[in-house]
Structure 1
Amino acid sequence: MEPETADTVAPESCPTTDGMPMLGLGTWQNEDPEQCAESVRTALETGYRHIDTAQIYENEAAVGEGIAAADVDRDDIFLATKIWISNLESEDVLETARESLDRLGVEYVDLLYVHWPARTYDPEDTLEAFSELYDEGLIKNVGVSNFEPEQLEEAIETCDVPILANQVELHPMLPQEELQETCEQHDVELVAYSPLARGQVFDQPVMQEIAAKHDASEAQVSLAWLREKGITAIPKATSEAHIRDNWASLALELDEEDVDAIDSIEERSRKVDPDFAPWN
């Protein structure tokens, strides 16, 4: 699956929402340390300023190496990681968050997520620890991930610190309309993981038609569709070609007809569906 090149040149910078760049590099399953560090460095030197990782990815050290190797100032990078579901009791949050910072080689992260509302997650206990990390300056923002509307609203009511973002699977086959509405009502940013549906967007006739119309790739179309909706995307990419192809999506402007056509896709597909997910 070779990436195509958009007809236009991508801008040098990326639009932001609440200080968070709307296109980031996801690192899930980027487990080879050398490859992970190189993809992070390549992305940053391409223009990306948003890097996303997690404790469970077991690549925080490699992500940190990539950040250190890139010719980009740390303060210009929006760095996010996530606390795993076995570490969500307050003392574990405080301890393992510091361990994550050590592995990343940084003094703070820009966004720390509750990875899932599962296992050891307790809204009051967990989010109190997140607020403590915020007050200490170890994290700049609090986020949640894989929260359904009811869990999100509970977190907003419980946490002493504003919830910046909810990171969920979101793509043309899983548009999450109800969650979009809830996030908009509460001024919470949506961050889309698996925004290409693990490659499924390449096989969608609607995406193929719009890609051909704009001389773009289906990946670029999906990322541009998300941006049109005000949603941040963090596609995983390891090769320089895919990193640059995704970055070029910033130059692609979809018209209303394109957006409506994508919105009309009826197929539904969820790629990440563990037993402990709140919708199960």
Structure 2
Amino acid sequence: MPHSIPDIRSGDVAMPVIGLGTWQLEDGSAQPLVERALELGYRHIDTAQIYGNEQDVGAALAATGVSRAEIFLTTKVWVEHFAHGDLQRSLDESLRKLRVPQVDLLLLHWPKPRPALAETMAALNDVRDRGLTRAIGLSNFPSGLMAKAQAASEAPIATNQVEYHPYLSQKTLIAKARAIGASITAWSPLAQGKVAGDPVLIEIGEAHGKTPGQVTLRWQVQQGVVTIPRTRNPARLAENFDIFDFALSDAEMARISALARPDGRLGDWLDKAFEWDVE
């Protein structure tokens, strides 16, 4: 039987702490992996307009025997659609591809200086008010900009989806998210495979009978971080999901956090108008 997945309260929704990320799952490859993930017990699926696979995720949702009400579905608005009116039209297209009348969470994919943040947040609130998404949020927003987005929004920010793994500290962002009642969602949580050979993670994993990847994902969820590992390997789907039968000690958590380094960021497409938090 599948594990029961804990939720994290984020803004005004409860998000399953682990999900399947679908970045780079193109040309139909997302559909079988989403279907298999749902069979294993995953209930959180993450996609985006720019991934080019919303239609494949939608096909998987249509094919699965899992009730839509049990699935937490996230998509992201691409930066070219941030203007009021454009955002709404782009979401209509996403919903058509996903074959659903509503997503659970709609994120702004990357911050952009234009159009003005207030205009984009107004459009984001509009689609929520119209019932096209249950909740709204951000992706790749530094902490100061996240605070400005919340100040410009009547609805609560549910999450800020950012790169997060043992080699990249997000202490400032996590603290800011908690202060506004939001969560952090980790993309590339396994540092694109780099955690597999880490001696510290290997040693901690051996103590628990777990892989370095499982240790890393457990480290994230124990912090109250939502994590969305992506894999092309169906066997790895089960491994990533099998993290709820052990716990890391405070000392182990601290050892993993100490792996962070200044050059740990793997994906940096932030507009030059903005700056990342120092740590």
Scaled to the shorter chain, the TM-score interval is over 0.9
Tell me, what secondary structure is at the counterpart of 1:155?
helix
AA at the equivalent of 1:203: G
CA contact (8 A) 2:44 2:71 kept: yes
1:92 counterpart (64, 86, 94): 86
User: Any unmatched runs of 5+ in structure 2?
Assistant: none
The residue aligned with 2:191 is 197
The residue aligned with 1:138 is 132
CA contact (8 A) 1:146 1:168 kept: yes
Deviation, 1:85, is 0.7
Matched, 1:210 2:198: no
Cα deviation, 1:171-192, whole Å, max 9, x if unaligned, reads: 1001211111111111111100
2:163 counterpart (169, 172, 184): 169
The residue aligned with 1:6 is none
Structure 1 residues 105 and 120: alpha-carbon distance in aligned structure 2, compared to 1, 3 A threshold? farther
2:18 counterpart (11, 17, 23): 23
Tell me the matched-pair count: 270
CA contact (8 A) 1:43 1:243 kept: yes
Q: Which segment drifts farther, 256-265 or 149-158?
A: 256-265
CA contact (8 A) 2:21 2:45 kept: yes
Deviation, 1:119, is 5.6
RMSD: 1.4
**Dislocated runs of 4+, deviation >3 Å:** none
Matched, 1:279 2:279: no
Pairing of 1:143-158 with structure 2 (within 5 A): 143-158=137-152
Tell me, what secondary structure is at the counterpart of 1:137?
coil
AA at the equivalent of 1:15: P
Instruction: Using structure 2 for the length normalisation, give the TM-score.
Output: 0.93
RCO greater where, 1 or 2, for CA within 8 Å and sep 6 or more?
A: 1
Instruction: Using structure 1 for the length normalisation, give the TM-score.
Output: 0.93
Tell me, what secondary structure is at the counterpart of 2:181?
coil
Deviation, 1:79, is 0.1
The residue aligned with 1:12 is 3
Tell me, what secondary structure is at the counterpart of 2:184?
strand
Aligned-partner Cα distance in 2 for 1:219–1:171: 10
Matched, 1:60 2:51: no
The residue aligned with 2:27 is 32
The residue aligned with 1:238 is 232
- Fraction of identical pairs, as percent: 37
The residue aligned with 2:63 is 69
Matched, 1:113 2:107: yes
AA at the equivalent of 1:279: E
User: Any unmatched runs of 5+ in structure 1?
Assistant: 1-9
AA at the equivalent of 2:134: K
The residue aligned with 2:215 is 221
Q: Which segment drifts farther, 122-131 or 49-58?
A: 122-131
Cα deviation, 1:31-71, whole Å, max 9, x if unaligned, reads: 121x2100000001100000000000000000111111111
Pairing of 1:175-186 with structure 2 (within 5 A): 175-186=169-180
CA contact (8 A) 2:166 2:260 kept: no
The residue aligned with 2:253 is 259
Deviation, 1:242, is 0.7
CA contact (8 A) 2:22 2:230 kept: yes
Deviation, 1:276, is 1.9
Cα deviation, 1:152-199, whole Å, max 9, x if unaligned, reads: 000010011111111000110012111111111111111000000001
